[in-house]
Amino acid sequence: MELLTKDSLESVVLSENVFNKPFKESLIHQVIVSFQTMHRQGSKSQKSRAEVKGSNKKPWRQKGTGRARAGSVKSPIWRSGGVTFASKPKRYIKKINKKMYKEALRSIFSKLFYQNRLVLLKDFSINNYKTFLLVKKLKDMSIKSVLIILSNYDKNLFLASRNLHMVNICTTRSINPVNLIFFKNIILTIDSLKKIEEDLL
């Protein structure tokens, strides 16, 4: 298995253990659900009758008024009363082990390779953090929607891409399955390709 670099037309041999795996849709679905679950904010909070501000005094006597009996103005039945079974902050977790996560990434990379969505470059950088430089570079390559995977953090690229909705920059350490599937093209450098193969083998 080989992939040509787009800038220097060199042929790079790919690991079959990473880029020649069957597409496991159910596994990828599990991993994506787990990833998105972990990113849920889980910060919603409501007040129960015990937490609502107000008096604990009985509004009126139990009998003799002709009105419905009431024990507290904090009752969930009353306006501005507490909430029954109030929601509290919660951390959402759906565990996926490393073996499953790596297998899902290998499956996704294999699919990307066979769909010709991987773009391999010898190097990818810009000499300034201006967004128009990155836009021009991608336009010359006829690429709009792209995830650029680098071996190391590049400040210029990260700053230049912050205002571009369909461009995302990440390092090999922060690859996630959602981004790999969402973006139409994936740009890899030779260094980042080697690191990905090392991490996923």
pLDDT in tens, the chain (201 residues): 677 777 777 788 888 999 999 999 999 999 999 999 998 888 999 999 999 999 999 999 999 999 999 999 999 999 999 999 999 999 988 999 999 999 999 999 999 999 999 999 888 889 989 999 999 999 998 999 999 999 999 999 999 999 999 999 999 999 999 999 999 999 999 999 999 999 998
pLDDT of 1 reads 64
pLDDT of 5 reads 76
CATH number of 2-40+97-200: 3.40.1370.10
Measured CA to CA, the distance from residue 47 to residue 156 in angstroms comes to 46
pLDDT of 45 reads 95
For residues 5 and 189, the answer to whether their CB atoms sit within 8 Å is no
Q: Tell me how many helices (H) and strands (E) the chain has.
A: 7, 6
pLDDT of 36 reads 92
Dump the DSSP string for 88-106: ----------HHHHHHHHH
State how beta strands 2-4 and 11-13 pair. Answer: antiparallel
- What are the Cα distances from residue 42, in Å, to 35, 38, 91? 14, 10, 6
Domain map (residue ranges) of the chain: 2-40+97-200, 43-91
